C-alpha cells in the first residue's frame, strides 16, 4: 500500500504493531525494556533510546479483546482485591501468565512511574519492581489543591526530573544527550498540537469526529508523543477530519448526529461496541471528553520547569473547581447537549468527584447528565440494561432542554 493512499486508521494499526514488535525485539536482543505509566515524562526515555511499554495501554487492549478475566482471576487468586484498579489486576495477572492472545509484551527491566494519574500506581508499580527485582524510578506528583499549579510544585517536580535523568544515566551507563532531549521535547509539542487540532474538530456541527474513535487513537498519544510517527498519525487524522468537515459529513455514514455529548471517564473496554452502538442508535455522538486535554503536554523546548509544570498540571491531578470549570468550558465550546459520566469502579480518583462535578455543571450550565456504573476492564461490573435506561433518560432530558430553548424558556 502506497504511503499516499494509507488512512489514519491503517497507520494507527501499523504503528501499534511497530510499537509492540519493537519492544519484543529489543528484549530478544538483550536491550532493556521499560514499563511506564501513561502520563509520564517519556521524553526522557525516548532521548535515552529505551524501548518502553505502557501497561495501561496493554490492559485496555486485553479488555477490548474480551480477554481480561483470566488475568483478573489470576491476580485475585493470589490475593489482590476486586476493589483494586482492573488495569493493575490485569497487569499483575499478566506478569504471572506472560501470554495474551490480544498482545504479548516483554517483561520490564525498569519501572518508570508517575502519580499524576492516580495513587494506585504508587503501589502497583512498586509491587512490580519488588516482584521482578528491578529498579523503580518514581515521580511523586503533588496534587494541586489550588486552582493554578503553584511554583513550589513545579520546583519539586523539576528536581525529580533532574534526579530521574541521573538515575537513567546510572541504569543505561551513558550520559543524557541534552540536544536529543530537546529534539524529543519539540516532537512532543508538535504531536500534542496535532492531537489537539484533530480532537478539536468535535466542535464542528455536525462533528466529523466520532468520539469513540478517539479512544483508539489515544493509545498513540500515550506511547508516541515524542516521535515523528506520532506527529504523522495525528496530522493525517486531522486532515481526514478536516476534509469530512468541509464536505459537511458527520461522524457516521449510516446515521445523522442528533445530539452531542461529553463522555466523562475511561471507556468500558470489554463493552466498547455495546456502549457505542447504543448511543449511535439514538443519534447521540460523543464529541469530546476530558481526555484530549490530559495529553496536551506543551511547553517550551529545553525548559525543564515547563515540563514539570505540564506533567503535574493534568486534569486528574487538579482540584474540583478546576475539573468543574474544564467541564463547563467543554460544554460551551463543543455545543454539548448532555454529559455521560462513567462511574468507573476501578478509578477511585475520578469516581469520588463525579457527583460533585455533576452538581456544579448542572448549576452553572443547566446541561443534563446521567451516571452509569461500569469498569474500564473488569466486564462483571457493567449492566447493559442499566446503561440503556440511563441513556434513554438522558435522551428525554436533552429533548426537553431543546424544546425549552425553542420556546425561549432557557438560553
Q: Does some domain include residue 2?
A: no
Distance, in Å, from the CA atom of 142 to the CA atom of 144, rounded to the nearest integer, reads: 6
Q: What are 255-299's pLDDT values in tens digits? A: 999 999 999 999 999 999 999 999 999 999 999 998 888 888 999
Helix H or strand E segment including 212? helix 211-223
Residue pair 289/261 in contact by the 8 Å Cβ criterion: no
Contact 88, 120 (CB under 8 A): yes
Q: Is 41 exposed, middle or buried (0-12, 13-18, 19+ CB in 10 A)?
A: buried
User: Tell me, what's the pLDDT at 1?
Assistant: 41
Chain-centroid distance, C-alpha 201? 18
Residue 68: predicted pLDDT: 98
In a domain, 139, yes or no: yes
- Domain count along the chain: 1
Q: And the C-alpha cell for 391?
A: 441513556
pLDDT at 409: 67
Is residue 345 in a domain? yes
- For range 356-369, the mean pLDDT: 95
d(CA 78, CA 97): 12
Q: 360 lies in a domain?
A: yes
Domain that holds residue 193: 8-407
Span 318-338, pLDDT tens digits: 999 999 999 999 999 999 999
User: Is 143 in a helix, a strand, or coil?
Assistant: coil
What letters, b where the CB count within 10 A reaches 16 and e where it falls short, cover 107-131? ebbbbbbbbbbbebbeebbebbbee
Q: What is the pLDDT of residue 411?
A: 63
- pLDDT tens digits, 60-106: 999 999 999 999 999 999 999 999 999 999 999 999 999 999 999 99
CA nearest neighbour of 71 among 94, 53, 51, 48: 94
Closest CA relative to residue 105, chosen from 53, 49, 30 = 53
Residue 129 lies in a domain: yes
CA 170, chain centre distance (Å): 30
| pLDDT for position 184 | 97
In 335-390, DSSP assigns E strands to 338-344, 369-374
Cβ-based neighbours of 226, under 8 Å, separated by 6 or more = 42, 43, 46, 184, 185, 187, 188, 191
Residue 159 within a domain:
yes
Amino acid at each position: 500500500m502506497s504511503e499516499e493512499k494509507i488512512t489514519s486508521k491503517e497507520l494507527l494499526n501499523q504503528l501499534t504493531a511497530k510499537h509492540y514488535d519493537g519492544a519484543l525485539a529489543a528484549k530478544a536482543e538483550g536491550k532493556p525494556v521499560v514499563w511506564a505509566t501513561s502520563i509520564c515524562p517519556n521524553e526522557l526515555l525516548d532521548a535515552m533510546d529505551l524501548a518502553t511499554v505502557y501497561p495501561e495501554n496493554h490492559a485496555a487492549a486485553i479488555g477490548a479483546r474480551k480477554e481480561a478475566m483470566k488475568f483478573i482471576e489470576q491476580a485475585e487468586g493470589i490475593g489482590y482485591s476486586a476493589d483494586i484498579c482492573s488495569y493493575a489486576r490485569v497487569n499483575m495477572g499478566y506478569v504471572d501468565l506472560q501470554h495474551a492472545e490480544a498482545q504479548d509484551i516483554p517483561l520490564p527491566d525498569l519501572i518508570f512511574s508517575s502519580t499524576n494519574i492516580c495513587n494506585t500506581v504508587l503501589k502497583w508499580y512498586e509491587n512490580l519492581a519488588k516482584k521482578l527485582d528491578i529498579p523503580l524510578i518514581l515521580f511523586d506528583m503533588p496534587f494541586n489543591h489550588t486552582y493554578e499549579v503553584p511554583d513550589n510544585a513545579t520546583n519539586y517536580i523539576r528536581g525529580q526530573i533532574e534526579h530521574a535523568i541521573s538515575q537513567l544515566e546510572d541504569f543505561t551507563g551513558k550520559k543524557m544527550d541534552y540536544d536529543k532531549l530537546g529534539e524529543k521535547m519539540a516532537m512532543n509539542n508538535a504531536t500534542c498540537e496535532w492531537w489537539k487540532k484533530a480532537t478539536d474538530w468535535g466542535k464542528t456541527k455536525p462533528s466529523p469526529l466520532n468520539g469513540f474513535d478517539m479512544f483508539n487513537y489515544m493509545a498513540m498519544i500515550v506511547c508516541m508523543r515524542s516521535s515523528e510517527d506520532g506527529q504523522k498519525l495525528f496530522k493525517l487524522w486531522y486532515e481526514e477530519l478536516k476534509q469530512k468537515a468541509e464536505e459537511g459529513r458527520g461522524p457516521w455514514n449510516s446515521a445523522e448526529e442528533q445530539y452531542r455529548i461529553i463522555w466523562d471517564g475511561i471507556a468500558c473496554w470489554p463493552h466498547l461496541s455495546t456502549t457505542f452502538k447504543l448511543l449511535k442508535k439514538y443519534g447521540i455522538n460523543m464529541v469530546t471528553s476530558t481526555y484530549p486535554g490530559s495529553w496536551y503536554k506543551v511547553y517550551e523546548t529545553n525548559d525543564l520547569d515547563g515540563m514539570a509544570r505540564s506533567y503535574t498540571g493534568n486534569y486528574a491531578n487538579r482540584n474540583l473547581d478546576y475539573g468543574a470549570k474544564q467541564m463547563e468550558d467543554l460544554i460551551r465550546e463543543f455545543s454539548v447537549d448532555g454529559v455521560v459520566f462513567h462511574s468507573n469502579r476501578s478509578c477511585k480518583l475520578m469516581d469520588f468527584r463525579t457527583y460533585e462535578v455533576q452538581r456544579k455543571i448542572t448549576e452553572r450550565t443547566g446541561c443534563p447528565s446521567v451516571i452509569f456504573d461500569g469498569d474500564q476492564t473488569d466486564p462483571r461490573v457493567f449492566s447493559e440494561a442499566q446503561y440503556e435506561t440511563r441513556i434513554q433518560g438522558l435522551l428525554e432530558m436533552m429533548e426537553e432542554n431543546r424544546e425549552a430553548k425553542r420556546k425561549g424558556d432557557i438560553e
